Chains A and B, each alone.
Chain A
Amino acid sequence: MTDLLKISGLDVEFPTRRGTVRAARNVNLTVSPGEVVGLVGESGAGKSTIGNAIIDLLEAPGRVSAGSILFEGEELRGLDENQMRRVRGDRIGMIFQDPQTSLNPLMTVGAQLIETIEKTNNIKGAEAEKRAIELLEQVGITEPKARLLAYPHQFSGGMRQRVVIALALAGDPDLIIADEPTTALDVSIQAQILDLIKRLCRERALGVIIVTHDIGVIANIADRVVVMYRGEVVETGEVAQILGAPEHEYTKSLIAAVPRADRKLDRFSSVDYIEGGTKPFKRIDIHTHWLGQSRDVRGTGKAVEIENLNLSFVLQKALLKQNRKMLQAVDNVSFTVNEGETFGLVGESGSGKSTVARLIAGLYRPDSGMIRVIGQDVVSNPKSAAARKARRALQMIFQDPYSSLNARMRVLDIVAEPIRFYGLTENEAETRRIVGDLLDHVGLGASAALRYPHEFSGGQRQRISIARALASRPRILICDEPTSALDVSVQATILNLLKDLQQELGLTMLFISHDLPVVRQMCDRIAVMRHGAICEVSDTEDLFSEPKHEYSRHLLNLMPRMDLLGEARA
């Protein structure tokens, strides 16, 4: 097969005040028609940079400094803006990560499609509209004619990504570059979108470059894989070889870090290749330390009890109560979390799992129902001293490590805040010592105390969040998707940390996630949620071996196919 795209010796640099950052070094890559090439790597590996470099949309001040990009035999490097504009859209289409933000919110889907079609196909008016309808049909949008007049916010996430794909296809391109096309979507939608991309690739003999950090996506869709690490291509090969018998050390440890869904391991295998060089964390002796003082407190054996919990939100206001549109976010939910166990709450977005967590944490008040934390009713009189005391035993770790830390506070003050608020220490000197110990214990080192959150990476920030949660000496941790914003390798280390802490401190964990393999590794029991209601509550192994509920089976079937991954990950 002739190459559709041939990149050779590509260097991309970003000149900055502190010197030139080389985001990609000597990258070689080829794509044939009808082939899906997966470009995989972790954040900062330079994989998106390659995609942007191909269509000359590097963020300023980035530039291609060496190498060549041959597309259908024509050199793209050095084309001027006008020539490049005829390549973009017409011959190379691009799909971005977040369908929420890729579409102009103020224009109808039809207007955006028609404007693109008019530009790329040189047809106007009614003809362009006809073509728009065809495109929407091809990407699987029902009633395409009516949908032309809808605005992006009236579509769900998956539908929006379909519209984005339709826009990318509008000019009948030969190559599609999809930059994390499913990262922002639910598993079930992810599977549909990947199928769609794969089908279009085969039908139209398109070349597809799929940029992703998710090995599951690669396993599902790619024919060949290019692994990038710190701006360099470390390994290229057929998907079965890369996933089953990786050769490079980095690829091996990356594949090993992918949580497996087929059996439970004690710990996640961490990616030593990346963490390599970091010294082992200095840890504190829990038995004698301040932090361990809550460890031996034992209650009723039940950490969180929830009975018939209900909460609805108003979707559309109206003067009369019966005209209001309500969303039953939590629908008669009951479950009990035993002390010392990790209880998983899984479901797709909108299933109400985070809402339940927020109800338990007291961030929302339920319409009806009962929540007991360590035997104490926290609903009927949330401001009473007893309820406050029970809540203190409960801390939350949020999904997004970037927005859950106050950027204007030093790490010291962030972690010390609960200690100071509850007056858990004798004096300021002790507070500072304990904050240092906590930071040591979560693997950041006490020296982090004087720095600000923006100086840390996502994984490190999540460690700060964990230290903050520990600072009130909780007995229950609610983790709301604690690692879904992180790379696999970082995810493995964070989840290991949580496991260690749980064992050392005898913590109870409520672990909320949409990622079934992760849940399998972390949890003792699991509740499956859908549309605000609980489908089933089972022991983890039972759920994975013989799910009782129809929907649980459905979710398990959607898990990315990982059978290609061989012994490398054991």
Chain B
Amino acid sequence: MFFFILKRLAQSVLVMAVVSAVSFSLFNFVGDPVNNMVGQDATREQRIEIRQQLGLDDPILTQYARFLGNMVQGDFGLSYRIKRPVDELILERLPATLELVFVSAIIALVVGISLGVYTGIRRKSWISRVILSVSLVGVSLPTFIIGIALIYLFAVHLRWLPSSGRSGTVELGWWKTSFLSVDGWRAIILPSITLSLFQLTLILRLVRAEMLEVMRTDFIKFARARGLAERAINFRHALRNTLVPVITIIGLNIGGLIAFSVITETVFQWPGTGLMFIQAVDFVDVPIMAAYLVFVALLFVLINLVVDILYFVVDPRIRLGD
């Protein structure tokens, strides 16, 4: 196991190196940063001076080494537009995104797995058929349409929930949370449902397919032949055996939740990192874009590392095997 995790860590470092190179290249290939920082009427001398201040005249490798060095220390430079350190901006926005992703992941997992198990066991009931048909909608409709539809229904028409923004936050040190007030919860419901819907349907269908697969295996038949109760067969024997593939997909998808949150945050004007990223793209605010890229990649890598470790917990064949 130690060996395995070491290997994964090495791979993670490689992934991060590649991503950092890509995000660094943003600085050089996405427009001229100086143009973005100075006004239209800046003189040539002013531009040269800024170039020198930013170190843009140094050789590429020197610039990359500096970028890497700063990055490792959490320093991504100043935002071109807001003129504040990028790491500060991200830290400010991070709680909003993480809380949103957390709530949607819980919704996707709990609802997805339970409906998946239900439709896997009661394969032929009409409820299963309805669930599966509806779940197709979740897969096929784009996130922003679902978001807008939910806003129209619950915020505009029924007026139960706020349409956008993140109100009712409570400060815990530097972390602003929505979880400690009714308003906060009301605000987070719609965006998190919107964000979770796609993952939910994916998990539902995956769990169902795996359940159907496991229910056909010999050990389930043998469990039946021993007269074990249906409950024990479905949950103790079948569900656990579906978990390894499900964990893999869930791991990838939580990363996906963070990536998709860009759209959801835009629709709901949720003040998270995704919204910040979209605004940064509008203004070609390269430091924010680069930092966001590295940050998302880091999350992906960490989540996958956790997933790999979870395999050991779930499956004794991996834990005790070769």
Contact = CB atoms under 8 A, between A and B. Distances in A.
B3 A318 contact: yes
Interface in A92-111: 93-94, 96-98, 101-108
Contacts of A318: 3
Contact of A116 (B3, B217, B228, B314): B228
Given A107-B236, A115-B232, A153-B317, A85 B223 contact: no
Interface string B191-229: 000000000000000000000000001110111111111
A142 interface: no
Contact of A151 (B218, B219, B227, B317): B317
Interface stretch (A163-171, A332-340, A411-419, A457-465): A163-171
A105 B214 CA distance: 12
A350 to B, nearest CB: 15
Given A98-B218, A318-B3, A104 B224 contact: no
Contact of A101 (B219, B224, B227, B320): B219
A57 B221 contact: yes
Range for the number of chain A residues in contact with chain B: 35 or more
Contact of A105 (B221, B226, B229, B317): B317
Contact of A94 (B219, B225, B240, B315): B225
A106 B218 contact: no
B241 A105 contact: yes
Interface in A54-91: 55, 57, 85-90
B226 A107 contact: no
Interface in B271-322: 314-317, 320-322
B237 interface: yes
B230 to A, nearest CB: 8
A317 B7 CA distance: 12
A319 interface: yes
Contacts of A93: 225-226
Nearest to B319: A151
A215 B240 CA distance: 39
A126 interface: no
User: Which of B3, B223, B317, B320 is most buried by chain A, counting CB atoms within 10 A of its CB?
Assistant: B223
A168 B226 contact: yes
Contacts of A57: 221, 224-225
A157 to B, nearest CB: 14
A94 B222 contact: yes
A354 interface: no
B224 A88 contact: yes
Contacts of B227: 85-90, 119-120, 171
B225 A106 contact: no
B228 A89 contact: yes
Given A104-B237, A115-B232, A151-B316, A164 B222 contact: yes
A500 B98 CA distance: 72
Interface residues of B, number: 25
Nearest to B214: A104
Given A101-B217, A106-B240, A106-B314, A151 B224 contact: no
Contacts of A427: none
A300 interface: no
A106 B226 contact: no
A170 B314 CA distance: 27
Interface in A261-319: 315-319
A106 B315 contact: yes
A404 interface: no
Contact of B226 (A97, A167, A315, A316): A167
Contacts of A101: 217-219
Contact of B241 (A86, A97, A104, A167): A104
A103 B316 CA distance: 13
Contacts of B321: 153
A164 B224 CA distance: 13
Given A102-B222, A151-B317, A107 B237 contact: yes
A97 B241 CA distance: 21
Nearest to A167: B226
A156 interface: no
B241 A88 contact: no
B219 A88 contact: no
B137 to A, nearest CB: 30
A119 B322 CA distance: 34
Interface string A198-223: 00000000000000000000000000
B234 to A, nearest CB: 13
Contacts of B223: 104
Interface string A2-42: 00000000000000000000000000000000000000000
Contacts of A164: 222
A90 B225 CA distance: 10
A43 interface: no
Given A88-B227, A105-B317, A151-B317, A319 B3 contact: yes
A380 interface: no
B221 A89 contact: no
B322 A316 contact: yes
A325 to B, nearest CB: 8
B218 to A, nearest CB: 4
Contacts of A96: 218, 221-222, 225
Contacts of A316: 322
Nearest to B317: A153
B310 to A, nearest CB: 13
A119 B228 contact: yes
B128 to A, nearest CB: 16
A425 interface: no
A154 interface: yes
Nearest to B241: A106
A93 B314 CA distance: 30
A18 B116 CA distance: 32
Nearest to A87: B227
Contacts of B232: 115, 119
Nearest to B216: A59
B229 A119 contact: yes
Contact of A317 (B3, B240, B316, B317): B3
User: Which of B219, B221, B314, B317 is most buried by chain A, counting CB atoms within 10 A of its CB?
Assistant: B219
Contacts of A89: 225-228
Contacts of B3: 317-319
Nearest to B232: A115
A120 B315 CA distance: 28
A88 B223 CA distance: 10
A52 to B, nearest CB: 9
B276 to A, nearest CB: 43
Nearest to B222: A102
B225 A88 contact: yes
Contact of A170 (B219, B226, B315, B322): B226
A252 to B, nearest CB: 34
Contacts of B226: 88-89, 93-94, 116, 119-120, 167-168, 170-171
Contacts of B315: 105-106
B228 A151 contact: no
A86 B316 CA distance: 31
Nearest to B321: A153
22 contacts: A57-B225, A85-B229, A87-B227, A89-B228, A94-B225, A94-B226, A96-B221, A103-B222, A105-B219, A105-B317, A107-B237, A115-B232, A119-B228, A119-B232, A151-B320, A153-B316, A153-B320, A164-B222, A168-B225, A170-B226, A317-B3, A319-B3
Interface of A: 55, 57, 85-90, 93-94, 96-98, 101-108, 115-116, 119-120, 151, 153-154, 164, 167-168, 170-171, 315-319
Given A101-B218, A170-B226, 15 more contacts: A85-B228, A101-B219, A102-B219, A103-B222, A104-B237, A105-B241, A105-B317, A107-B237, A108-B316, A119-B226, A119-B227, A119-B228, A120-B226, A153-B320, A317-B3
Interface of B: 3, 217-219, 221-229, 232, 236-237, 240-241, 314-317, 320-322
The 3 closest A-B pairs by CB, nearest first: A89-B227, A88-B227, A94-B225
